Every structure is written in structure tokens, then in C-alpha cells.
Amino acid sequence: MNNAGLLAIAPIDQFHYKDFDRMIAVKIKGMFVATQASVQHMRDGGRIILIGSCNSGRVPFQGGTVYALTKGAVVSFTKALARDLGPRGITVNNVQPGPTDSDMNPAHGPGAPGTVQHVALGRYAKPEEVASFVAYLARPEASYITGASLLVDGGYSS
């Protein structure tokens, strides 16, 4: 599983190149390098599960341009990688969580009231709710799911 937490938010005309470079390095280059290294040692029939974000397709706040760019890259990478690894029976999927209670984005933090108004269920996800879906994708029963970007977002994207 690939997952990197890093956030920099600013309008595009104020976004610092240093932050852009760091976001690309961690969220895109890091995903590529970790996946490439894993695939070299992975048995046929394995699983690759990437963690993206529901903000790859919907960004209801200003300043999220670069964040959305990096998460959109996860969607494209997932689809293409599923084609590359399909002949080996390796599945590749992207779990796209919505707002999830974490150290970086606490459910009771300063940004929570503005965020939760966009969630149909009216609350943040618990980490175990996302983790249980990731665990399902790793199971043999999920062997026919590949190339998918799957929302676990409480209706944030609806």
C-alpha cells in the first residue's frame, strides 16, 4: 500500500515552487518509486493498493489546485498500472478517502466545520473505516477488481 500525507494549500498565483516540488516529490515520485520497487519483488496475483483522495475529482475549496493535481495523478497511474500488471494477475486499485480523522486533518480541528458541510453523512471517517476497505481489496475475494478508483467518502463526492 502506498500512502503519503503532505498538504500545501494556496492559490496558484501564490503557491511556492518549493512546496510544488515537495508535493510532486512525495506524492507522485514517491508513489512511483515505492511501486516500482515493490513490483520487482511481488509474486503473480499480488495486490497494489494506492491511497488517493476524493479531491482528485472534486475540490470544493480554494487553493487545492496542486493537491488535486497530485491526487489526479494517482487515478491515472492506477489505470495504466492495472494494464501493465494485469497479465501477472496483480490488481491495482486506488482508495479515495474523504475527510478522515487524522493528525493532519482532525475531525475537531479548525477546518472541520467547513469540510463536514460537504459530507452527506455529516461527519469525518474513522481511520478504521478506510482501513477495512483497504483490507478487503487485499483479500482473494477482490481479485477481479483492478484499475479502479474507489470512494470511501461518506458522500462527499455526491
Question: pLDDT tens-digit profile of 101-147?
Answer: 999 889 999 989 999 999 999 999 999 999 999 999 999 999 999 99
Q: Which domains does the chain have, with CATH numbers?
A: 16-152 (3.40.50.720)
The single residue of 17, 67, 136, 156 carrying the catalytic annotation is 67
What's the pTM?
A: 0.92
Rg (CA), the chain: 16
106 SS3 class:
coil
The string of pLDDT tens digits covering residues 82-111 is 999 999 999 999 999 999 999 988 999 998
CA-based nearest residue to 33, from 43, 41, 25:
25
Longest CA–CA separation in the chain, Å: 47
- In tens, the pLDDT along 35-88 reads 999 999 999 999 999 999 999 988 888 899 999 999 999 999 999 999 999 999
Q: 125 has which bridge partners? A: 100
The yes-or-no answer on residue 67 being catalytic is yes
Strands 148-152 and 91-97: parallel
